[in-house]
Structure 1
């Protein structure tokens, strides 16, 4: 049984990665219903939260159906991160996560995210400040290192465990790699094999099928897997992996009707959470992901993204199974680079 503090996650949990502009409550809803064991908010700027910026504060929204749920914070100032941990704790998540992995320029070049991999003492100090500021379990997500010459994640794992983190997720790329090349899980396995390490170690990077999930579980011995881009437009991946682990058989790809139902549910909650106009606008980025691979879908997508009438949008969605009746849509892996996928 894998546990983070007192949070029980089962024998081999599947985690949904925090993704900026993706993993908001509506998206988390469809992932939770399809087997995600632990989810995180979009990453929240400590500077924005300390200033009570509306966008940062709204990201604190969590719902009972999501539990267990973690709030992820990022920042470059030790004191501010400690204060933000207190604010996040008051939103009543199940844990607090620190982002030391985001590689994008506007985060790393401000001394946050993966930039802390260049300053391990400051990373340790910041982590300690967050741990001391909350009664909740604190976890960390990071990368292998800043570049190929400074792969220091083994040292990071030991030192952050020493100051109190209760789980670590490692993306198998350096900051220099961004999202390119193949993720290297060998260092993640070394951390897990280290007799000093007692906390759960989760692997992240390139898991896009049940077969690969099983291979990496057996090959690298990690405690669980975090999935990011492969869940975009395809929340079924969590249950597909669990079914494959249990039976050795693959579930059939979701039907077009199931895809429409997921999109409809996603849209409905988006409107409930953000209001009709904003909910409709923010859903627009997801349609092409849910229906990726459908031939000649552009016309229908354009109608979906141009309308602000909820009844018209629902009618368009309801027409899709009829228009594409009999078409079998296999899984399409989404390879879009989102800022918060670290």
Structure 2
């Protein structure tokens, strides 16, 4: 068993990464249904929360069926981070997570996300401000360092543990790499093997198959793994990995019927959460991923993303079930 503060997770848990415009409640619900052990919200700007920005506030929505769930915040100002942690606490998540990893320019240039990797002292002060302002366990997600010449994750891990974080997720790239090249998990394993480190260490980056998950579990000896891009349009990956761990065998590929069911649920839950117009609009970006690799699908996908009424989209789903009833996924 792995513990994050008072949160108990199974041995070698699989975590869903916080992803902007992806990790919202409907998507998290699908991943939970298909085996994710712990999930995080999309990242939320501390400044936006304090300003009561509607979009930021909506990202605080969590539901009991998805627990345990963490809410992730980012920012570069201690007071704003402390205040936003107190706001987050009011919706009663299980965990508060701090994003020190986002490499996107608009976040970095505000001195937040991976921008903080240039200043470890600031990173420590921001973390301490959050830890001191909440009774919830605080976790951090970060990268190896700013660039190859400044890989500082060993010092970061010790100092963040010292100010009270309860778990650390490390993406095996520097900020300079963005999402290019291959994630390097060797430094993450080095953090885990540091005798001073007592908190769970999770690895993140490039896990896109059960084989790779097993190889990395055995090779690097971490406490669990966080999966991001491989889960987009493919929430089945969590149970597939668990099944492979347990049996050494693959679960069958999700059928067209499975994919339609996922897309249908995603649309329904989005509408339940945000209303018909926004729910229909926001689910569109997911259809390409759910039906990736199906030959002759373009016309149906086009209709899914161009219909404004839920009943019309559901009708396209029904057509797909009929047209591709005997289709074999490979």
Q: Hey, what does 2:195 align to over in structure 1?
A: 195
Q: Hey, what does 2:275 align to over in structure 1?
A: 275
Q: Give how far 1:39 is off.
A: 0.1
Match runs of 1:1-342 below 5 Å = 1-330=1-330
Q: Hey, what does 1:336 align to over in structure 2?
A: none
Q: Could you tell me how far apart the structure 2 residues matched to 1:121 and 1:311 are?
A: 54
- TM-score, normalized by length of structure 2? 0.99
Q: Could you tell me how far apart the structure 1 residues matched to 2:93 and 2:76 are?
A: 22
Q: Could you tell me how far apart the structure 1 residues matched to 2:46 and 2:142 are?
A: 17
Q: Give how far 1:73 is off.
A: 0.2
Shift >3 Å, 4+ stretches: none
Q: Tell which has more relative contact order, 1 or 2 (C-alpha 8 A, sep 6+).
A: 1
Q: Give how far 1:329 is off.
A: 2.1
Q: Could you tell me how far apart the structure 1 residues matched to 2:44 and 2:194 are?
A: 31
Q: Could you tell me how far apart the structure 2 residues matched to 1:37 and 1:292 are?
A: 25
1:240-295 C-alpha deviation (Å, 9 max, x unpaired): 00000111111010010000001100100000000001000000000000001111
- Match of 2:42, SS state, is coil
Q: Could you tell me how far apart the structure 2 residues matched to 1:160 and 1:318 are?
A: 51
Q: Could you tell me how far apart the structure 2 residues matched to 1:182 and 1:268 are?
A: 37
Taking only aligned residues, the RMSD between alpha carbons, in angstroms, comes to 0.6
- Match of 2:226, SS state, is strand
Q: Give how far 1:296 is off.
A: 2.4
Q: Give how far 1:326 is off.
A: 2.3
How many residue pairs get aligned? The number is 330
Q: Give how far 1:3 is off.
A: 0.4
Q: Could you tell me how far apart the structure 1 residues matched to 2:309 and 2:142 are?
A: 42
Q: Give how far 1:229 is off.
A: 0.3
Q: Could you tell me how far apart the structure 2 residues matched to 1:322 and 1:152 are?
A: 55
Unaligned runs of 5+ in 2: none
1:171-210 C-alpha deviation (Å, 9 max, x unpaired): 0000000000000000000000000000000000000000
Q: Could you tell me how far apart the structure 1 residues matched to 2:297 and 2:108 are?
A: 37
Q: Could you tell me how far apart the structure 2 residues matched to 1:200 and 1:319 are?
A: 47
- Match of 1:295, SS state, is coil
- Match of 1:140, SS state, is strand
